[in-house]
Amino acid sequence: MSEGAGPAAFGRVAPDGTVYVRTSAGERSVGQVPDVPAEDALAFFTRRFEALELEVSLLETRIASQTLSPDDALSSIKTVRAAVAQANAVGDLDSLLSRLDALVPVIAEHRAERRAERARQSQEAREAKERFVLEAERLAAGNDWRGGVNRFRVLLEEWKSLPRLDRATDDELWHRFSSARTTYTRRRKAQFAQQAEQRENARAMKEKLVAEAEELANSTDWTAVTNAYRELMTRWRAAGPAPREVDDLLWKRFRAAQDTLFAAKQAAQSAQDSEFRRNLLAKEALLAEGEQLLPISNVPAAKAAYRSLLERWNTLGKVPRESIRPLENRLRAIEKAISEAEHERWRRNNPEARARAEDTAAKLEAQIDALEQKAARARAQGDDGAAREAAASAATYREWLAQAQRAASDFGG
């Protein structure tokens, strides 16, 4: 019902209970409700109008959401319009008819949109099928024998899901697609036949390689046999796959021969490693003995002990690779300490150096005496600032003197 207008604006009740509705076409009777108040009679027919108004609103919603096709929507409008035009109800029936009429151009827009959507979908379907054809023709010219099969299967399923085009275009595209698939299938079968022949040749080659590997399995020339197995492995890879039912069996025999050889090699290397570890322990013991000489106090004795250590060191064999550098570093550290001690011993007994150190100490003592006399004179003259400055300089020279005396004392040994 129109906002702001009550039932009385669109109808009335006669004294005999007859109810009338007012429309743009005039006034007409919609029914009679005798022996009730006029308000109740009018309300009865108003509720009928509200039901019609709800039906119109629902139809507007369905058309707006396009849940109805344009044809179904027009049919529904026609049905509801007839019901409104002849309705035995009181309300703004003219507004309901206007709302229904306003839906007709909306449906026309929807129809145009659907027509455009169908055209768009048809164009998209054509473009998709053209892409499928081009991809199928690329696959037919290529050599993707495994992925190509699956891709053709996917393309076919997607093709079936697309809408048909006009008959001529659809038939022409399908012919190209189908021809490409047939070409691919024939080439694939030919390729697999060739692969079967190659696998049979690979089987014969790998049987020969297995026999060679089994002959080498008991060799103890580790370098030569390792190189031989490396060359066999290169030839094995170059041989390509054999038939699936024998390829794994041949590989197991090949690996078994290889494992036998390398197990023996590992055992020999383990024995060698044990020897290397014994040598390592012996050399570490010698280093510990040499490190007991540090710091060097008796250079001649240390040099003699080091020569003895080197003689015993050279009688020992190899050690593990990762231990070589740490051992050599420790040995060089002992040698370096002895060399430095020898150099220091020579330096301490150098008469020229001792004379220079003593001369420096004498000069510093003379300078200290001069500064102390200067400070005494300044105090006697009442010049405390000059006295403090001379005293501070004398203190500094005393520190230098202590250092020079220690240096001179180092030359006593």
* Model pLDDT, residue 92: 92
Verify cis geometry, omega within 30 degrees of 0, for the bond prior to 295. Answer: yes
Whether 40 is in a domain gets the answer yes
Q: State residue 391's pLDDT score.
A: 86
pLDDT digits (tens, 9 = 90+) for 195-228: 788 888 888 888 887 887 778 777 777 788 788 8
Residue labelled with tokens 């006295």: 387
Residue 297 covered by a domain: yes
**What's the average model confidence in pLDDT over 99-107?**
93
Query: How far, in Å, CA of 14 to CA of 387, rounded?
Result: 138
Same domain, 310 and 404: no
| Confidence bin at 260 (pLDDT 50/70/90) | confident
Q: Do 113 and 11 share a structural domain?
A: yes
Could you tell me which of 120, 180, 124, 174 has the C-alpha nearest to residue 148? 180
pTM for this model (two decimals): 0.37
Q: Quote the pLDDT of residue 305.
A: 92
| pLDDT interval class at 106 (50, 70, 90) | very high
User: What pLDDT does residue 81 have?
Assistant: 94
3-class state of residue 23 by DSSP: strand
Whether residues 240 and 326 fall in one domain: no
Domains: count for the chain: 5
Let me know if residue 236 belongs to a domain: yes
Asked whether residue 113 falls in the same domain as residue 154, the answer is no
Determine whether 384 is exposed, middle or buried from the number of CB atoms within 10 Å of its CB (0-12, 13-18, 19+).
exposed
Please check whether residues 223 and 188 belong to one and the same domain. Answer: no
pLDDT category of residue 281 using cuts at 50, 70 and 90: very high
Q: Which of these ranges, 54-58, 128-132, 266-270, 366-370, has the smallest mean pLDDT?
A: 266-270
Among 150-159, 164-173, 352-361, the range scoring the smallest mean pLDDT is 352-361
- Mean of all residue pLDDT scores within the chain: 87
- Amino acid residing at 132: F
Residue 1 lies in a domain: no
Quick one: which of 329, 292, 321 has its CA closest to 308? 292
Residues 11 and 80 in one domain: yes
Average pLDDT over residues 89-118: 91
In a shared domain, residues 16 and 49: yes
Domain edge (last residue) among 295, 325, 348: 348
Point out the domain boundary residue: 177, 196, 215: 196
Residue 2 lies in a domain: no
In a domain, 397, yes or no: yes
Please say whether the beta carbons of 195 and 242 come within 8 A: no
Extract the tokens encoding 246: 């024998």
Question: Tens of pLDDT along 373-403?
Answer: 888 898 898 888 888 888 888 888 888 878 7
Q: Is the confidence at residue 1, as pLDDT, over 70?
A: no
Which range (116-130, 295-309, 322-336, 353-367) has the least confidence?
353-367
Domain limit, last residue, from 268, 292, 314: 268
pLDDT at 77 over 90: yes
pLDDT > 90 fraction of the chain, expressed in percent and rounded = 39
Range of the domain at 369: 351-412
Mean pLDDT to the nearest integer, 359-363: 81
The percent of residues in the chain predicted with pLDDT above 70, rounded, is 96
- The rounded Cα 103 to chain-centroid distance in angstroms is 56
**One domain for residues 20 and 110:** yes
Per-residue confidence band for 89, with pLDDT thresholds at 50, 70 and 90: very high
How far is the C-alpha of 116 from the C-alpha of 104, rounded, in Å?
18
Q: Are residues 188 and 205 in the same domain?
A: no
Query: Are 405 and 305 members of one domain?
Result: no
User: In this structure, which long-range contacts are made by residues 291-299, counting pairs with CB atoms below 8 Å and at least 24 apart in sequence?
Assistant: 291/330, 291/334, 293/334, 293/337, 293/338, 294/334, 294/337, 295/337, 295/341, 296/337, 296/338, 296/340, 296/341, 299/338, 299/341, 299/342, 299/345
> Do 37 and 108 reside in the same domain of the chain?
yes
Say if 218 falls within a structural domain.
yes
pLDDT at 241 over 60: yes
What's the pLDDT score for residue 4? 47
Q: Tell me: do 38 and 109 sit in the same domain.
A: yes
User: How far, CA to CA in Å, does 304 sit from each of 288, 299, 327, 338, 350?
Assistant: 16, 9, 20, 11, 24
Q: How much is the pLDDT for 394?
A: 83
Q: Taking the chain, what is the end-to-end CA distance rounded to the nearest angstrom?
A: 128
In a domain, 392, yes or no: yes
